[in-house]
Amino acid sequence: MIKFCSLFSGSSGNSIFLGTHKARILIDAGLSGKKIIEALCSIGENPSELSAILVSHEHSDHIRGAGIISRKFDVPIYANENTWEAMEQQIGPVSVKNKRYFNTASEFEINDICVKPFSIPHDAAEPVGFNFFVGNKKITTATDIGCMKKSLLGHLEMSDLLLLESNHDEQMVKVGPYPWSLKQRILGDRGHLSNELAGKVVAYLAEKGTKKFLLGHLSKENNFPELAYQTVYNTLMEKKICAGIDVMLDVVVRDRVGKVIEL
């Protein structure tokens, strides 16, 4: 059995739990150690049993609690070399044995989980998404994506469960109070994925066979859960795909633990 739960997802901080019979993994740890520990306990998980923390990139909303949890529970942190270089001063000292390096696009194993990182377009040192393979199941996490490319779609295809960014409504960004430079960053090719584009991606992947979708990393200022859901729902309906019947579609939010999904 695979246990998957978004603990927090959004511009305020991100952390995802993935567990199997033999492994317990955090994908990112972008909140305080205390909040992440409380979230884990709320879904019946013991933080001292964590096998690894995987880091997608070095922005603070993905690494804030990583060093704390590693030191407190003696947990290895996995990241690629460029991400380690960019984040090391931010997360504090980590013991040598708990500093683990992976090569982007190369598979590695954490007990019974095969992990395959893949490159994503974002304004960080070497940002990645992750494919997780457990038995015949494929789970994918892909947030902080500035644009969607055919090569990236290939990593998302045929997932049994996909957590995909649905960060903002483009019109809300354009008319909102952010300075123009920040608007350009969000809307640019190395920024974040909009609701509209997330809808197109979900519809494409649903036609390819993926049945379970979570929308995540919603902006606090430029989005809200009902809008993200409805935008993607409408795009699916245009393809005659009904959310709730043909596919599972849900939104994970920034300030509370999501539903536990078992595969």
Tell me the longest C-alpha to C-alpha distance in the chain.
53
Domain 3-262 CATH class label: alpha beta
- Cα separations (Å) of 68 from 11, 32, 124, 254? 20, 8, 22, 20
Q: For residue 28, give the 3-state DSSP assignment.
A: coil
CB 15 within 8 A of CB 8: yes
The tokens describing 75, both together, are 């947990």
Q: What are phi and psi of 48, to 5 degrees?
A: -70, -10
Range scoring the smallest mean pLDDT among 49-53, 106-110, 172-176: 172-176
A 10 A CB-CB count for 186 gives 21
What is the secondary structure of 186-198 as a DSSP string? HHSTTS--BHHHH
| Euclidean distance between CA atoms 33 and 106, whole angstroms | 29
The model's pLDDT over 175-210, given as tens digits with 9 standing for 90+, comes to 988 988 989 989 999 999 999 999 999 999 999 999
Find tokens 């306990």 and name the residue: 41
Other beta carbons less than 10 A from residue 80's beta carbon: 23
pLDDT, one tens digit per residue, over 94-109 is: 999 999 999 999 999 9
11 has a pLDDT exceeding 90: no
| Strand intervals (E) in 137-205 | 137-142, 161-165
Q: What is the identity of the amino acid at 14?
A: N
Q: How far apart are CA 38 and CA 144, in angstroms?
A: 25
Residue type, 112: D
The pTM is what?
Answer: 0.96
